[in-house]
Amino acid sequence: MQKKTLAIAAAAALLMAAGAARAQTADPVVLSFATVGDSRQDNVAPDATQLPLSGQDQMWMTNTKAFSRILREIAAKKANLLFFNGDMVLGYGNANPSTNVSDVNSVINSDLVRFYTEYAYWRGMASTLMEQGTYIVPVPGNHETQCRTALAAPSINAATGAYVPQVICGALVAGQDTLGSVNGGKNAIPQNEEAFRANMGDLILDQARLTSMLPNGQALANVDLGDHAALDYPFVTGNTKVTTAAPQNQLSFSFDVGSSHFAVINNDVSGGNDNTAPVNWLSQDFAAAKTRGAKSFFVFGHKPAYTYNFAGNGGKAAGLDANAYSTANRDAFWNVVQAYAATYFSGHQHVYNMSQPKAQPAGSVLPPSWQVIVGAGGSPFDVKPTASGQSPTDRSYVYAIVNIHQSGKADINVYGFTAAYGPSKLIGAQTVPALQ
């Protein structure tokens, strides 16, 4: 009897395997991409469980151990592209050339040099992935574009030995930073946007190199790297402090690969237009892609549209819902996302969460869109070790792998490993149907 049962089980397993093989043959995977964000380290407020920081992490501001492991695993899974969703550097300064260049120390400790050396270290690490066949598409984050006002005199952090500079984001008038009271003192500024272009622009996009790295049958097309700031900025609804944004070329951009459409958006835009999405441009961009026959739509930004209220967060908004005026923009953005059954990938929150924030409007035949937060690429976890009620995956380093089938259907698989660097495990999975 036992032998008969085993034989039946073996036959069933063979049938299932055969069925899976037929399904793969009928609708093969034609493109694969990875996505993650937030690998920057913090030498002033690091994660308590990762101390002591290595000398290189204190200097170059990347979580080298976590990020290098994520890169190795993405390479092993042979993703064709990696969309890195911002905060690859600590940044947060003012990348204007320093006026205080009287000695070597003042040059080395300037925000401009800090930005460029942090970018250089990150690029050096990421280049290994490029050489193994995965093209990297960078997404601007708030640490790249924003300046954080800190008027106190430069100092040394007693606990970590970190240099804490004096930062002026606007103009210094009567001892006050003119941007200090705008958006809580965190503001995207044109010189930081330009520093992002200067350090990442060759990847946005090296069309010949990306084309050479795509699988057979998949072609790059309809690349849009233009400046569309006038379509969306200044975004003034409910906010009287915004002005015209600096050019947004290579900060929000889009392209097709085969029948898949990819859009990258800048969430923190100069001129006080922080915590927003370029809704008008994205709406036009998606409509054009649908006309061309796109079957699957993906958006990559740094900040989540809807905050994940993790254990210990206390309801604090951290995404495009940060305040009343940005929430109105968020709602318009999500309407565009849902209209095309798009999937939105973000970081900013140093945690993993996958959710369908809103039901589709009555009468829609499309499924609700997914928001996937994969912001635990090495930055200090948002969830503290002692937080009660935390999810088992709240303190895991994570990344997602998305396999796109010929039909346009996409399989999202999220992998994670604990802060103790245990084995990597599949911690989340969803299938997104193609746009009909």
Q: Over the stretch 193-228, which tens digit does the pLDDT of each residue have?
A: 999 999 999 999 999 999 999 999 999 999 999 999
Which pLDDT score is estimated for 1?
A: 53
For the chain, give the mean pLDDT: 91
Q: Over the stretch 123-164, which tens digit does the pLDDT of each residue have?
A: 999 999 999 999 999 999 999 999 999 877 767 777 677 766
> Do the Cβ atoms of 274 and 184 come closer than 8 Å?
no
pLDDT at 16 over 80: no
Residue that has been written with the tokens 């699988």 in this structure: 215
pLDDT at 167 over 60: yes
Mean pLDDT of 1-11: 55
pLDDT at 4 over 60: no
Among 15-24, 41-50, 285-294, the least confident range: 15-24
Task: Give the whole-number percent of the chain exceeding pLDDT 90.
Answer: 75
What length is written for the chain? Answer: 436
> Do the Cβ atoms of 37 and 346 come closer than 8 Å?
yes
Which pLDDT score is estimated for 10?
A: 57
Tokens in use for 320? 């495009």
Task: Give the whole-number percent of the chain exceeding pLDDT 70.
Answer: 92
Tokens in use for 425? 């495990």
| 90 SS3 class | coil
Sign of CA dihedral 46, 52, 56, 62: negative
* Selection from 151, 241, 143, 232 nearest residue 192 by Cα: 143
Measure the CA–CA gap between 389 and 356, rounded to whole angstroms. Answer: 21
**Assigned CATH for 30-144+188-432:** 3.60.21.10
Q: Over the stretch 404-419, which tens digit does the pLDDT of each residue have?
A: 999 999 999 999 999 9
pLDDT at 165 over 80: no
Q: Over the stretch 268-326, which tens digit does the pLDDT of each residue have?
A: 999 999 999 999 999 999 999 999 999 999 999 999 999 999 999 999 999 999 888 88
DSSP at 435: P
pTM, 2 dp = 0.92
Which pLDDT score is estimated for 99?
A: 64
Burial of residue 249 (CB within 10 Å: 0-12, 13-18, 19+) is middle
Measure the CA–CA gap between 255 and 224, rounded to whole angstroms. Answer: 6
Tokens in use for 362? 């009555």
The model's confidence at residue 103, banded by pLDDT at 50, 70 and 90, is confident
Which pLDDT score is estimated for 5?
A: 52
Mean pLDDT of 367-388: 96
Find which of 30-39, 109-118, 152-161 is predicted with most confidence, using mean pLDDT: 30-39
Answer with the residue of higher pLDDT: 367 or 159: 367
Among 102-106, 347-351, 418-422, the least confident range: 102-106
Measure the CA–CA gap between 199 and 201, rounded to whole angstroms. Answer: 6
Which pLDDT score is estimated for 14?
A: 57
